[in-house]
Amino acid sequence: MLLKEYERLVYSPKKAANFIAKLCWPNYQRFCPSCKSRKFKKLSSQKRKCLRCNTIFTDFTARYFNIVRIKPDDWLRIVKLFEMETRPDEIAHQLGLSYNTIRKALTSIRLAILANSLDGSSLIKHFNLYSFPSKKKARIQNPPVFGLIEQEKHVFIDFLPDLDLESFVHLKLNFKLPSKKIGQIIYTAPVRQYLSLLVYDHKITTTYNLKHQGRYIALDGNKNFWPFAKRRLHSFRTTSELNFLLYFKELEFRYNYKQKDFFLRLLKYLASFIEKQ
C-alpha cells in the first residue's frame, strides 16, 4: 500500500473501520460466524443477531482482529509499526496505549501469521493454539522441532511432527549431529532434506549434557535467510516455546514477503477467522 493511501485511511476512524470491514467481508456478504447462516437482523447496537442460532456478532467477531479490543485506525498504525519492526514499548508510547495491549496485539499478529502459513492448521491443532493469546497461562508442553528448507528466494520453516525432542536428543547422542546455539535456539548440520533443524533449548542441553561444538555448520555459510534471521534472533526475547514458534513463523513470513505488499497481507491475515477447535 502506498503511504498516501495509508495516510488517508488512518486520518479518518470511519474510513479505517470500513476498510477493515471490507477485508473481513470482501463482497459485503455477511454470515453468522457460528453457523454460517445468512439470515440475521441488525440490532440497534449496530451488532447483528443470527436468526438461526441467535449468535450476536460484529464485523470482527471470531477474527484475529477481535482478540484484543483496539480501534480500527489504531490497528492500522500497529500493523504499520510492526512492519517497520518497531519495539513494543515504542509502539505503546507512540499510540498512547498500554504496553500489555500492544504485546497482545503483536501476539495476535504473529498468531495470524502462523495460522496463515502452510503448516498453520497442523501447528494450531498440535499445540492447541485455538485460544491464544487470550488464555493467560497457556503453555506449550512439547516444543516443536523445525526443519529449514531454502528454495530459490523462499524459505520454509517446516514443523516436523515426526521428529520430537526425544528423537532430536537421539540424533545428538547416537549420531553426533553437529550443532550450535544462539541464545536458547539450537541449530544443526543438515538432516534429511533440511539445511538445519531448529530447536528451542528448554533444559535439554543440561539434562542430556549435550555439546554444541563450535565447528563450521552448513547454515553458517548460508548467504540468504540465515544472515537475515540471525540479526533478528539476537533481539527477539525467546523466553518460551511459544515465542520460539511464533518468531520463526514471523521470520519465515518476513523473509518470503519482504518485496511484496506486506502491510495489506498482514491485515488480510488478521481479518481471517480463528480456527475452531
Which CB, 61 or 205, lies closer to Zn ion? 61
Measured at the CA of 79, the angle between CA 74 and CA 80, to 5 degrees, comes to: 95
Which residue shows C-alpha cell 520463526?
248
Report if residue 18 touches Zn ion, rule: CB under 5 A: no
Which CB, 49 or 230, lies closer to Zn ion? 49
From residue 166 to residue 205, the character string flagging contacts with Zn ion as x (rule: CB under 5 A) and all else as - is ----------------------------------------
Which CB, 30 or 103, lies closer to Zn ion? 30
CA distances from 171 to 174, 178, 190, 192, 212 (A): 6, 9, 12, 12, 13
Which CB, 55 or 86, lies closer to Zn ion? 55
CB 30, min distance to Zn ion, A: 11
CB 270, min distance to Zn ion, A: 23
The grid coordinates of residue 144 equal 516443536
Alpha-carbon distance of 248 to 106, in angstroms, equals 14
Strand ranges in 177-247 using DSSP code E only, listed in sequence order: 179-182, 185-188, 196-200
Q: Where in 25-64 is the site for Zn ion (CB under 5 A)?
A: 32, 34-35, 37, 50, 52-53, 55
Nearest alpha-carbon partner for 186 in 120, 227, 238? 238
For residue 182, what is the enclosing H or E element? strand 179-182
CB 18, min distance to Zn ion, A: 24
Determine the size of the site formed for Zn ion (CB under 5 A).
8
Give the footprint of Zn ion on this chain (CB under 5 A): 32, 34-35, 37, 50, 52-53, 55
